[in-house]
Amino acid sequence: MSVFLLPVIVASMCFFPLQETHLKEKTCYRVVQSELELAAEASSFCDLLFLDAQEGYENLWRKVTSFFSWLTSREEHKQNENKTYVMHVDDDSFVRLDLLVLEMRTWPEKRFYWGYIWNSNSSRVTSPIRNPANKSYMPEADYCLDYYPPFASGCGFVLSWDLVQALARADLPNYRLLDPPFGIHLTGKDFCCLDTPVVPVHDDRVRPYRPLPIFRSDTLVQHYLHASEMRPYYLQATGEVEASPGDEAADERISSLYDTLVEMGLMRR
């Protein structure tokens, strides 16, 4: 079993007119320094992939499909690599790879789409946003139906390799947003790029929200972590920082109250 979990970095250039302010010069310097640091890390650890794609929230779909195209073209030249799963993760998500790899050993290797699935409950339906000012705007020209089929939160989801290949082969619209198109073309009946739609696997341990307390030992993917929270979260996950009995008891009470309020509908996850 192999898993591709690569941060995808978009190569970009920094141009400013000569008459621009010193502030923008400093900003440009920081951008260049950041790119140099990323290039140095990629050279040392081979853990980054640079793609020639446009930056910006509205280009996330094309960034990911460009990554899929790179993966499938790489497959043509490296037949000995046995890819099984590909995972997409947001840069503000913490992934418990130590737990996730154990889970993967029990997963099917074909037609597998896993994550926190919106619309997994038949009583809930997410409708496309038609307001062009909204960052999740979906033009009717790209998707004309009044509801989305089930789709995974982009904070962290997994696709089996056959689904990645199917998406890479398909001629898909240039969507402005990332998450729903995976449902449109994998789980929905109307625009599916497969012979038959897949049934996505919902997992509550993927958390596209900030629970109370923020750290839970069974979490597989935790979204919305600030950069300053990553290392403390890691130390808790690895057990390098142990909570006192009093802290653990307090966390259990907070967790129980939080779950109760969510079940009562008084709080949203």
Per-residue pLDDT tens over the stretch 127-159:
999 999 998 999 999 999 999 999 999 999 999
> Is 257's pLDDT higher than 80?
no
| pLDDT at position 21 | 39
Report CA-CA distances (Å) from 17 to 2, 14, 20, 34: 46, 10, 6, 21
> 199-215, pLDDT tens digit by residue?
999 999 999 999 888 89
| pLDDT at position 196 | 97
| pLDDT at position 14 | 34
| pLDDT at position 190 | 96
Classify the C-alpha dihedral 101-106-111-116 as positive or negative.
negative
Joined tokens for residue 237: 């996950």
Q: Please compute the mean of the pLDDT values over residues 89-94 and round it to a whole number.
A: 94
First CA to last CA across the chain, in angstroms? 33
Q: Which residue has the higher pLDDT, 255 or 208?
A: 208
